[in-house]
A and B are shown apart, each in its own frame.
Chain A
């Protein structure tokens, strides 16, 4: 009897409790669903803004927290087919007068018609980039308000390698829709190739293995080294010598702070002040790059020895800048000099001693360093097919 009563009480209790419990459950579930929805939406927004695979128009995400937009100007997007297929996050952008704006923007340039000098912006048959090649980036900042603020520019170089697809030891050739070999002008079949971004050894080796090219896969570490040499050899500057390249090429290397002359913590960065009252103005951001041809152009204090072989990248009287580049050479020697078998244990000492001493440089040591520099250039030329210069613009933390 008692048990029956208990059961009945429990049942009665449960009924009123049940209602409340149901409501509580509903509230809990509802809250959790709302949180889940918020997280999904935020995740989706985050995914869109860094997407690599978005097709079609996608969603143009404009972030409202940065007080500026970036823009570019020019007729032509260089290597547009390649960059659009390999780095889909970069967009042509929305036109605004002569300019194009986007948060992930494909930079442009205006072609020049100057067949007498080797210019990367040549209209007909622009040259491919070799040691000594240089150019500038057509980047603009458009403030959204009239405040003054500081932006931090960060530059990065990403390398791509192109190699043949293989089936066992046989080359895979490009085929048409009837599975026949496509022939070039001389009547030879064209090898089918893949273009792969060089990130790290294991990912690159995997990509090569997937294409059947075991030779490249086995050599993946050297491709990664070549990519780092390219990043080390391309120097960035904020100012160009307007004097028709006489005596030196650039000023303001992006390796030291203009305000205090000290090497910056992070190479390839620059802080730029955007002045007040510039709302909707197209402010050009000058960025110049050069794949410096010889070590002497960076490291030698003058051309007394006649070993420089070309104009220096900085004026010989730019002591602060030249010092910053010396520090850059010393702290990035693994990315600048290829392993030189003549200099193993003494190598660090040679680099340090040579680039430190302005007047007393040892010819043999300099030649060894220069050989290492040129060997790195050769590695770049034989392994890297394309490179991407990426510039990120954010607010300066300070």
Chain B
């Protein structure tokens, strides 16, 4: 301590010019001492670099058949009193000399995208009609004979689709072996496409519950209408433990029509991509009903909504 005090005293006693010289000499010495190692550090490595651009994540596309715009995926009115028709010829199917009622309606949709190996397919639908919804794998053919041989000549597995010109404003995906043509007037799409039903897609309903239903005469409060009181079991949305409906969706409202509560179906689908990492997978949605349950005279008009969504897993 004394030494420091002595040194400080000496410092204060020096003339100004000497102080300046001492300080600047000290600063320069320290500067020299740091500059040399720093220079050595800077030049101790050689570096090389390469720059890459990142691709924005691609979304998955849900479209109609042939990857056409969603407006071409048409859910027409289902008329259970219609007669069944051969999908290829359009003429009525005759069994035992009589035309038969249609048993199911089929709709084709597609999921396409890129850089995907697996995705989740979700379907949600309401249950105002006593319909059963199933999703199947489908293959696309533009030649009817190829389609027939794929279907083993079972024409009930074939769905005919008429492509629309200029129907591709939403989907830009082209896949090896499945390119769409859409540039009239020179390049017209094929006049007809055929989709052959394959295996059912593996998936389950996530909220099933078998409850005795209310039928058409129901006023929503559990009072059955007079007359028709068939009691059949139908899968309805699950209520929670308090026997009330989903709180997040309906809040405290208990007067919810059972059949308006959606059923949620989900399955995983694996795909293989082509050389450009693109894929397109076709599906057939089959809407069917139990012939015995349907009353063809008193068929009431009900509306159901069906939603599809897809999400990439990997």
Contacts and interface: CB of A to CB of B under 8 A. Distances in A.
Interface stretch (A126-134, A163-171, A216-224, A318-326): A126-134
B49 A28 contact: no
B164 interface: no
Contact of A294 (B42, B276, B314): B314
Contacts of B29: 35
A388 B44 CA distance: 21
A384 B44 CA distance: 31
Contacts of B58: 130
Contacts of A66: 43-46
A87 to B, nearest CB: 6
A345 to B, nearest CB: 25
Contacts of B277: 118, 130, 132
Nearest to A84: B51
A347 interface: no
B21 interface: yes
A387 interface: yes
Interface residues of A, number: 74
Interface in A141-164: none
B307 interface: no
If over half of B's interface residues share one DSSP class (helix, strand or loop), that class is named, otherwise mixed; here it is mixed
If over half of A's interface residues share one DSSP class (helix, strand or loop), that class is named, otherwise mixed; here it is mixed
B16 interface: no
Contacts of B56: 128, 381-382
B53 A374 contact: no
B54 A389 contact: no
A378 B311 CA distance: 12
B49 A381 contact: no
Contact of A393 (B28, B36, B47): B47
A46 B314 contact: no
A130 B31 contact: no
Interface string B189-231: 0000000000000000000000000000000000000000000
A389 B49 contact: yes
Given A35-B29, A393-B46, A378 B57 contact: yes
A178 interface: no
Contact of A385 (B35, B54, B118): B54
14 contacts: A32-B21, A32-B24, A42-B38, A43-B39, A46-B42, A49-B43, A70-B48, A103-B43, A118-B276, A127-B55, A128-B56, A129-B54, A137-B48, A309-B118
Closest 9 CB pairs of A and B: A128-B55, A63-B43, A381-B57, A83-B51, A394-B45, A107-B50, A130-B55, A105-B48, A79-B51
Interface of B: 21, 24-25, 28-29, 31-32, 35-36, 38-40, 42-58, 115, 117-118, 275-277, 312-314
